[in-house]
Structure 1
Amino acid sequence: MSDVQPAQCQVCQDVVSKYKCPKCRLKYCSVGCYKDHQDRGCSTLPQEPTVEMEVDVHGNIMSRSVLFPTDDTVMPSVLEKLRDSEHLCSLLKNRHLRELLLEVDKSQNAELIMQRVMKEPIFTEFADEILRIVEPSEDGGGSDLDDDV
């Protein structure tokens, strides 16, 4: 599994950012940095197109656009592959895994909880399967998702 480096504050450049400006999405670490950012002038990002969906006669979503894409945005076509994964559905039948997911979702400190739950084999299997679908290997092995790229 890859080590994801936390984003640095874009105001002070010293501390890991915990927040994003609601107007321009600039990453900052504290109230002080937020105030400095506001004092320097913050402009609203241009509005992205509204969410559009195209649905076929059977109610299946054929296409849609993403309202506010970021580097972490998972495209709808990939989300549908997650939904359709038999392996993920099988894993989600495990009550312990569902309880772990709820714990992460409800946590005030998800980073701390994630460190703990990633030690649980069922959770790491779940996370690995999601990553296999969302970020297929470039060598072509282990995934049949390359045809969407």
Structure 2
Amino acid sequence: METCNENLCQVCSHASFKYKCPSCSLRYCSVSCYKTHKATPCQPKKEANVTLEIDGQGNILSRQILFPTDDTVMPATLEKLETSEKLKELLKNPHLREMIREVDSHPNAKLMMHRAMKEPIFTEFADICLNIVEPEDVEASNWTGET
């Protein structure tokens, strides 16, 4: 299986990247690689958009996701989180809610997520969410060691 090193230049694949193209976010390591990349027009990175249809009372009637990826969780699946009693009980914890706010608002969310995953209550929160959103994947991997 081929492995992808996310720190490597996406043009030459030899050196660690230092820069990103402002148009398409392609990672490159040098002026030479930048010039190679710019030899052909790059495509701007497309952001996923969600279109909502809302009624007069503020209820969401329908959702459409533009540009979904393999990691996109469909709205109908996300709605299952609302009905989880375990999740509701866990979210009563003010420390957990503050951790979620910090991860969500921090400019380096990846770093904050890494730190948060060291906290047992946040790990429990993540496990519950994953069990709801991707039950077969979590059960198959059994990455928490719980039964």
Q: Same fold (TM over 0.5)?
A: yes
Q: Indicate yes or no: 2:76 matched with 1:77.
A: yes
| 1:106-148 deviation line (CA, Å, top 9, x unaligned) | 223222222221111110000011111121116989xxxxxxx
Superposition deviation, residue 72 in structure 1: 1.9
Q: TM-score, normalised by structure 1?
A: 0.62
Normalized per residue, the structure richer in strand is: 2
- Percent identity among equivalent residues? 54
Equivalent residue of 1:66, what SS? strand
Q: Residue 42 of structure 2 corresponds to which residue in structure 1?
A: 42
**Ranges in structure 1 where 5+ consecutive residues have no aligned partner:** 142-149
Matched, 1:123 2:105: no
Structure possessing the higher radius of gyration over alpha carbons? 2
Distance 1:88 1:40 in 2: 49
CA contact under 8 A between 1:53 and 1:65: conserved in structure 2?
Answer: yes
CA offset digits 1:20-49 (Å, max 9, x no partner): 87866x653568566643332223589x9x
Quote the Cα distance in structure 2 between the aligned partners of 1:91 and 1:125.
9
CA distance in structure 1 between the aligned counterparts of 2:133 and 2:15, rounded to whole angstroms = 29
Q: When the two structures are aligned, how many residues end up with a matched partner?
A: 135
CA drift at 1:59: 6.5
Alignment of 1:55-70 (within 5 A): 61=60, 63-70=62-69
Distance in 1, Cα, partners of 2:94 & 2:108: 22
Q: CA RMSD in A?
A: 4.0
Distance, in Å, in 1 between the alignment partners of 2:79 and 2:52 is 14
TM-score (norm 2): 0.63
Cα distance in structure 2, aligned partners of 1:14 and 1:138? 34
What are the ranges of 5 or more consecutive residues in structure 2 without an aligned counterpart? Answer: 141-147
Asked if the contact 1:23/1:43 (under 8 Å) is kept, the reply is yes
Preserved contact between residue 52 and residue 61 of structure 2 (Cα < 8 Å): yes
